[in-house]
Amino acid sequence: MGTRTIRRVRRSGTRPDARTRKNYRLPQSKLDAARRVLGTTTETETIERALDLVVFGERLASGTARARGRAWNNVVGEMQRTAPEP
């Protein structure tokens, strides 16, 4: 019986969800306004939620762009065909 060697593979960079410390110079008035709009309690949470909204907006825009080639009446017709009768 041979011995087993376990090798650890090191990956360059960090995990996508890894937290890193960042320092930014931002106007306090913008942070306060964003916190009120987003309903967050901390500045970190405010920035994270704002970034989430930016990413969501991009995904929504790209999905809308892909759907533009489809006729809207086809979508409505499909919904009417699959809807249960009252």
In a domain, 4, yes or no: no
Q: How far apart are CA 17 and CA 20, in angstroms?
A: 9
Mean pLDDT, the chain, whole residue set: 77
In a domain, 61, yes or no: yes
In a domain, 86, yes or no: no
Confidence label for 63 from pLDDT (cuts 50, 70 and 90)? confident
In a domain, 41, yes or no: yes
Render 8-74 in DSSP notation, one character per residue: PPPPSS--TT----------HHHHHHHHHHHT-SSHHHHHHHHHHHHHHHHHHHHHHHHHTTS-HHH
The answer for residues whose C-beta is within 8 angstroms of residue 43's C-beta and 6 or more apart is 31, 35
The arithmetic mean of pLDDT across residues 50-54, rounded, is 93
* Total domains in the fold of the chain: 1
pLDDT, tens digit, 9 for 90 and up, residues 13-45: 667 778 888 899 999 999 999 999 999 999 999
In a domain, 83, yes or no: no
